[in-house]
Structure 1
Amino acid sequence: MTTQAESTSADSDLAQPLAETPSGKGAKDENFPVGSFLLPKHLRPHVATYYNFARAIDDIADNPALSGAEKIERLRAFDAALKGEPGYGPEFAKAHALRESMAATEVTTKHGSDLVAAFVQDARQNRYDTWDDLVGYCLLSACPVGRYLLDLHGEDQNTYRYSDALCIVLQVVNHLQDCGDDRRELDRVYILGDWLREEGGAISDIDRPSASPVLRRVMDRMLDSCEALMVDARQLPQAIKSKHLAMESAIIVRLADRLITLLRNGDPLATRVALKKTDFASAAIRGAVSGFLSAGKGVDP
């Protein structure tokens, strides 16, 4: 005979895997290196722990089978587990692991909670009208990643400005790369509504098999705004004291520049606009050298 306690335990065991909704995506699918060999060996496991948490909550936010309410419930549970609130078991292992990692490295859990807030916003909001609106979202969805890495390496918070610029660019170009898929699969649109209307278009322009002249103009305006941010982003490697992190960031800066160029010349609705192995190789060689030489030199006045 099964007791009530045993039944409850069994039900709990069955429920545990449902906290996450893995998509199968991983570090290899990102536009930038995640915890590469350039980073100090003793810090790489912490970077992997942060990425695993981010991947888990991102997969929840992007799961088309979940309702907005279900996404928010799961995301808030991950945040509560990250903060050490009682009642969250092994099904939230990635949150517990990040909390322990952050405690060991003295990095604030805010850099995890901000990501949760961004994905909660994704569950509630699927349109962005202005550039400032989109930047506000990126401050939660992308900038915490750069800030986490800076804090993990003991960098001054004055470097946030340059890291934020780079992270916002990376997020926006990712939105442009995925604009067709985001619209089709999640009805999520990061192409700016105000700019679409100003150019005489509408969201339906994203539903076409190729970019209309209107959508092309809006994408170019968004890339122009990214170029403006790259002025600060390119100063990040020399603002960083750690040669390891400076090399890594210099590589990512070059990848961001390359993605902007590819999106200028490509059509993300007609075909996947993505970095090639040669792009990664070129950025790795040139970026590692320039980052090593520029680390700690200070930013241009």
Structure 2
Amino acid sequence: MSDIAATASGKGHKDENFPVASLFAPRHRAAVLAFYDFVRAADDISDHATLPGDQKIAMLDRMEAALLGSGEDIPVASRLRAELAERGLEPRHAQDLLIAFRRDVTQLRYRDWDDLIDYCRYSAMPVGRFVLDVHGEDRARTWGPNDALCAALQIINHLQDCAKDYRNLDRVYLPQDILAANGAGVEMLAAERASPQLAATLRALAERTQELLKESAPFADLIADTRLAMEVGAIQRLAETLTARLRVADPLSEKVHASKRQYLLTALAGAGTTLLRRLVSPRVAAASVAP
């Protein structure tokens, strides 16, 4: 087993908070899963609890070299490179994610909201952009709302896992200026439950996330591919549900991830609503395929 394979967490696409390739047509699923497997391997490197930082960076550099075909044979990189070549796609989205994973090694704090969104530009937005490119969707129509939704999903994960990230990796994605404005400090993340100051910070960030989700609300109706639109509708509904919960829940002492039953019902509601709009509203269907 290679040193890169040895860092694997064992987590797969079915363990994620949001759907991964669940509704995609078979012709797209292989590319999406190859992308996921590459990103999962790189994420496991950056999140490894005991590897030194310089070793993590070196391994991520090797992942990129393998993706570009100029380094050793790393299976997850080779599979993604083959899928990209078959579809005539560039590796830029995977490379952007590698920038984020390197940043996870070297940057443990974020100044403000803009600093956090810049991180999301590399850590989250490329995922949706890749899926859109695989489906041949119009970048001009879809990348804006995609970026808002992907940033929201990333920040939801940051809020859910804020205590774990701090305790295990000393990473704090909560912007320093918002913490300070509420009289909170990063050390409060080590407590068994959120202090009033930390709770106010988390609530403020959940509210900012709700604004992102307002920006992404039209996304599903801008997508030509109906299956992909349903997937996005499911993710949008799940994100809205989790963000509403994060406004009132304490991720330090409460479970804020959706249960399997909640996940399924919420996702089905979002996907079904998206499909229903296409069936009953000719304007929505027409907008989704307009040039």
TM over 0.5: yes
Structure label with greater radius of gyration: 1
Give how far 1:151 is off.
0.3
More deviation, 25-34/171-180: 25-34
1:63 to 48, 70, 90: 48
Residues 1:122 and 2:111 aligned together: no
Paired with 1:49 and 1:129, the residues of 2 have a C-alpha distance of 34
Residues 1:298 and 2:290 aligned together: no
Give how far 1:220 is off.
1.1
In structure 1, stretches of 5+ residues that fail to align are 1-15
The root-mean-square deviation of aligned C-alpha atoms, in Å, is 1.4
Distance 1:238 1:297, change over 3 A: farther
Aligned length: 280
More deviation, 118-127/23-32: 23-32
Aligned to 1:95: 77
Paired with 2:267 and 2:184, the residues of 1 have a C-alpha distance of 39
Counterpart amino acid of 1:185?
A: N
Counterpart amino acid of 2:72?
A: Y
Give how far 1:108 is off.
1.9
Paired with 2:4 and 2:190, the residues of 1 have a C-alpha distance of 33
Give how far 1:297 is off.
4.6
Paired with 2:145 and 2:86, the residues of 1 have a C-alpha distance of 26
Paired with 1:128 and 1:148, the residues of 2 have a C-alpha distance of 26
Paired with 2:230 and 2:265, the residues of 1 have a C-alpha distance of 13
Aligned to 2:15: 29
Q: Report the TM-score when normalising by structure 2.
A: 0.93
Alignment of 1:137-176 (within 5 A): 137-158=119-140, 159-176=142-159
Alignment of 1:1-301 (within 5 A): 17-20=2-5, 21-36=7-22, 38-85=23-70, 87-89=71-73, 92-158=74-140, 159-292=142-275, 293-294=277-278, 296-298=285-287
Paired with 1:284 and 1:207, the residues of 2 have a C-alpha distance of 33
Q: Deviations over 1:237-296 (max 9, x none)?
A: 001010010000000000100110221221111133111123222223222222223464
User: Contact 1:102 / 1:108 at 8 angstroms: preserved in 2?
Assistant: yes
Paired with 2:205 and 2:90, the residues of 1 have a C-alpha distance of 32
User: Contact 1:81 / 1:95 at 8 angstroms: preserved in 2?
Assistant: yes
Paired with 2:270 and 2:256, the residues of 1 have a C-alpha distance of 22
Give how far 1:27 is off.
1.5
Paired with 1:129 and 1:272, the residues of 2 have a C-alpha distance of 27
The residue matched to 2:48 in structure 1 has which SS?
Answer: coil
Paired with 1:220 and 1:247, the residues of 2 have a C-alpha distance of 29
